[in-house]
Amino acid sequence: MRVDRVSSLADDIDGVLIDQFGVIHDGRALYPGALDVLEGLRARGIPVAVLTNSGKRAAANRDRLIQLGVPRDTFVDVVSSGEVAWTRLTTTVPIPRAWVIGRDGDDYGFAPVTFVTDPRDADIVLILGSNAPATSMDEYRRRLQGVRLPALCCNPDTQMLTRHGLVPAPGAIAALYEELGGHVTWIGKPHAAIYADAVARLGHPSRVLCIGDSTAHDVAGARRAGHRTLLVMTGVSEGLDAAALDPCPDYWMETLRW
């Protein structure tokens, strides 16, 4: 069903999980209408958690939202796949050494996990980000060829928004590693564990609406977790035919509006 305003659904929801990249902002600025939606939900007493396939930890994502102009009191918390992965790694004894795939210059905040530069010195491959388009998929293939360490993919997204347009995201690199014979554990949407954590942050509401821009991650993951879905035709869905969406969301809208 097409809807024009999130407010038309508000009477039937007790909590909201909302994606950030492609829905709240494009990496540089807030989308028009995003702040109105967050403030409208706050005014209605509907708790919101930002649920993101970001390899960075929750605090870094909270800080970025605030810097972009999102008031801290419009969301309960950020639940990031990076935070879930960090918790898993730092409760493992001993804490593994990680060979990291990520964006050049990014600090993922994973201390006390030790990052190493040579996979021969590592216990695990940690796929946190993508350096595309500066690093090509052919170059990633070369780097991963022959590596047989277990891998954690902390961002299952296969495409990401950049100033160059859509480019391969960490999920595409992880899929390449599987193609080369590596074993990957996936953390984040559409996999179930992150939804359980996010709903707990909201206080376990019974009627949850998940808002996102990806059918493969936001819609598929929310449906598996038993939540209703709203797809916004921005971000990775910009320009797609709503009639051909698969999996099909419960609701869709052109741009986010309260």
Average pLDDT, the chain: 95
Residue 55 has pLDDT above 90, yes or no: yes
pLDDT of amino acid 181:
97
Q: Determine whether domain 92-186 maps to CATH 3.40.50.1000.
A: yes
- Residue pLDDT, tens place only, 207-222: 999 999 999 999 999 9
Residue 166 has pLDDT above 90, yes or no: no
- CATH, domain 6-82+189-253, list 3.40.140.10, 3.40.50.1000, 3.90.230.10, 3.40.47.10: 3.40.50.1000
Judge whether 40 and 258 are in contact, CB under 8 Å.
Answer: yes
* pTM of the predicted structure, to 2 decimals: 0.91
Please report which confidence band the pLDDT of residue 62 belongs to, taking 50, 70 and 90 as the band edges: very high
Q: 6-82+189-253 with 92-186: one CATH topology?
A: yes
Residue 220's region, left for phi above 0, alpha for psi from -120 to 50, else beta, is: alpha
Residue 252 has pLDDT above 90, yes or no: yes
Higher pLDDT, 193 or 185: 185
Domain boundaries, the chain: 6-82+189-253, 92-186
